[in-house]
Every structure is written in C-alpha cells, then in structure tokens.
A and B are shown apart, each in its own frame.
Chain A
Amino acid sequence: AQKVTQAQTEISVVEKEDVTLDCVYETRDTTYYLFWYKQPPSGELVFLIRRNSFDEQNEISGRYSWNFQKSTSSFNFTITASQVVDSAVYFCALSEGTGRRALTFGSGTRLQVQP
C-alpha cells in the first residue's frame, strides 16, 4: 500500500526566509511518480512538479527547488526567499507506475508567510 507523510502540519515564516517542506513516501512499486501541488486560500489545486522514480536529479524552478532522495524515500520542497503569495497548503502526492494513476496525497503542510 502507498503512503505519503507530511509531518509538518503548519509552518510560519517571515518574508524572505527560506523554508523546506518535508515529504516522505512509502511504496512497493519500483516505478512511481511523485508530485507537489499548491492549494492557495482560494481553494484550487495547482500542479507544481512531477518526478518519476528513475530521475533523482534535483530540480530548480525560480525560487522553488525539489530534492528527491530514493535512499530516504523523501521528496522535499524548498522555497527560497519566501513571499506572502506563497502562503498556501502544499500537498505531496504519489502515484503508481502503471494502471492505477490516482494520487495518494499527504495530509498537507500549511505555510504562512508573514510580511
């Protein structure tokens, strides 16, 4: 069975601070996909990144970066120089490699960025 754990329920930072959101996953599949989604206060779910299990390269997109480590089953997300607009709930999710494509979500981390 798959499981995604986001141990940080809520994080509060001051603008311009760097913040890392942790994600630990469990799966028996050798092929799987990891995702991050953002849910701002308006409620929609916004896709941020997809990573497959064979690609352990870290990725950077502007102020966002992701660190995928299979050895520790982690897929952490760092926001550099946080801004108030980054305030949202962030979800890490996992899907199997084939067939069942549905996402198993973590419980989310609420990030509050104070001005």
Chain B
Amino acid sequence: DTAVSQTPKYLVTQMGNDKSIKCEQNLGHDTMYWYKQDSKKFLKIMFSYNNKELIINETVPNRFSPKSPDKAHLNLHINSLELGDSAVYFCASSQGLGRVNTEAFFGQGTRLTVV
C-alpha cells in the first residue's frame, strides 16, 4: 500500500487554466504539507495543515489554495496557471508525538508543466 499518494503524477496544461492536485495518506498522520521543488531542485514549504487546520502558509500567491477535507487528504488547487508555476509539487505527511517532530513521508511528486 502506498503511504502518501498524489495524483496526477504528470500534469501539462496551458497558461490561464485552473488545475488541482490530490493527495492522500494512509499513515494516520495528523499533519500534511505541500512542498514545491523548482527546476534547480530547491525544495520549499508552501502549506502545512494539522488536523485539517492551516498552520503554515508561506508567501505563496493566492492563486494557490489548499483544501483539507479530512486528516488524510490535502488537495492543492491552482488558479490562472502561469509559466513560473512549472515545478514538481510534493505532498508529505508526518505525525507529531508530543513535542517530537517525526520524519515526513513524501508522495512521488506531481510534475506540473505550464505551456
């Protein structure tokens, strides 16, 4: 069973379109994340949800809107796509154990190409 799964794996779309990426985790974790990896491989946090509550919202354009319908799902919707949004988007999850930060497990990534 895949622990963190995201769909689709590849997404090619035109500028101006709206698209969504879905993420599901079956690890029972309480925290989920979206990270963006740019063309130089740099990874940066975008959003974090804990028990469906948004706790991190980095300086991301408001065209990006995460939605967490429940603890196991965190979707990413992107409006009015731009060329600069082309990147690999990773979903991840982790479990807080009291004050201990455990490791995050990542999905396989979604390669978004905006043309």
- Residues of B at under 8 Å CB distance from A? 31, 33, 35, 40-45, 48, 55-56, 88, 90, 92, 94, 96, 99-106, 108-109, 111
- Interfacial chain A residues near B104, Cβ < 8 Å: 35, 47, 101, 103
User: B103 touching A43 by the CB < 8 A rule?
Assistant: no
User: A45 touching B45 by the CB < 8 A rule?
Assistant: no
A50: Cβ under 8 A from any B Cβ: yes
Query: B43 to chain A: closest CB distance in Å?
Result: 4
User: B43 touching A44 by the CB < 8 A rule?
Assistant: no
Query: B38 to chain A: closest CB distance in Å?
Result: 11
Query: B39 to chain A: closest CB distance in Å?
Result: 13
- Interfacial chain A residues near B42, Cβ < 8 Å: 105, 107-108
User: A47 touching B103 by the CB < 8 A rule?
Assistant: yes
User: A108 touching B106 by the CB < 8 A rule?
Assistant: no
Residue from A31, A43, A97, A103 in contact with B45 in the complex, judged by beta carbons closer than 8 Å:
A103
- Interfacial chain A residues near B88, Cβ < 8 Å: 43
Residue from A33, A89, A107 in contact with B101 in the complex, judged by beta carbons closer than 8 Å:
A33
- Interfacial chain B residues near A50, Cβ < 8 Å: 101-103
User: A98 touching B43 by the CB < 8 A rule?
Assistant: no
- Residues of A at under 8 Å CB distance from B? 31, 33, 35, 37, 39, 43-45, 47, 50, 52, 89, 91, 95-105, 107-108
24 chain-A/chain-B pairs, Cβ below 8 angstroms: A33-B101, A39-B41, A43-B108, A44-B106, A44-B108, A45-B92, A47-B104, A47-B105, A50-B102, A50-B103, A52-B100, A91-B43, A95-B101, A97-B99, A97-B101, A99-B55, A100-B55, A101-B31, A102-B33, A103-B45, A103-B104, A105-B44, A107-B41, A108-B42
Query: Bound state CA distance, A33 and B101, in angstroms?
Result: 7
User: A101 touching B44 by the CB < 8 A rule?
Assistant: no
User: A45 touching B90 by the CB < 8 A rule?
Assistant: yes
Given contacts A100-B56, A101-B94, contact A43 B41 (CB under 8 A): no
Query: Bound state CA distance, A91 and B56, in angstroms?
Result: 21
Given contacts A43-B88, A45-B106, contact A101 B43 (CB under 8 A): no
User: A44 touching B109 by the CB < 8 A rule?
Assistant: yes
